[in-house]
Amino acid sequence: MPDFLSFFLLKPDAIDRGLRGEISNAIKLEELTLTETFDVRLTRWDLLCLYPRIRTLKAWLRSEQYLAHRWIPVMVVGGEDAISRMRRLKIALRSRYPDPQDAYYTLVHAPDTPEDADRELNVLRKFGRNQSRYELECH
């Protein structure tokens, strides 16, 4: 299988529950290489760039409440078949640490396809900590 980059966007519930170290260890156990970490602070409009499949106002507002206007860590990894391995790891983490009060809180986001990974990483890197939002567009 070819090498690809993939990533985890650590959602606020993962950070609030103190799972960043556990997630890092899980990535190491998968024998993937952490190649980059950075933080993003997304606005409601950035979420539409990141998640263009948001179809309802309710889902968009819920995503904004959950993800926007706070610093969110991104962990970029590389390795053989990284995308499918990170997707399996995402599912395992969600099974291991479910939120009994809110199924919307899902710990991490990882892309499902190489195309999603490329598009989403481009969006996240544009909106990273050292970027000026006024110079950026969602493409």
β-pairing, 71-80 vs 3-10, is: antiparallel
Task: Name the 3-class secondary structure at 4.
Answer: strand
pLDDT per position as a tens digit, 74-120: 999 999 999 999 999 999 999 999 887 776 678 999 999 999 999 99
Answer CATH for 3-132 from 3.30.1370.60, 3.30.70.141, 3.40.120.10, 3.30.465.10: 3.30.70.141
Residue 8 phi, psi dihedral angles, 5° rounding:
-115, 130
Distance from C-alpha of 139 to C-alpha of 38, rounded to nearest angstrom: 20
Distance from C-alpha of 10 to C-alpha of 8, rounded to nearest angstrom: 6
pLDDT per position as a tens digit, 52-65: 888 888 888 888 88
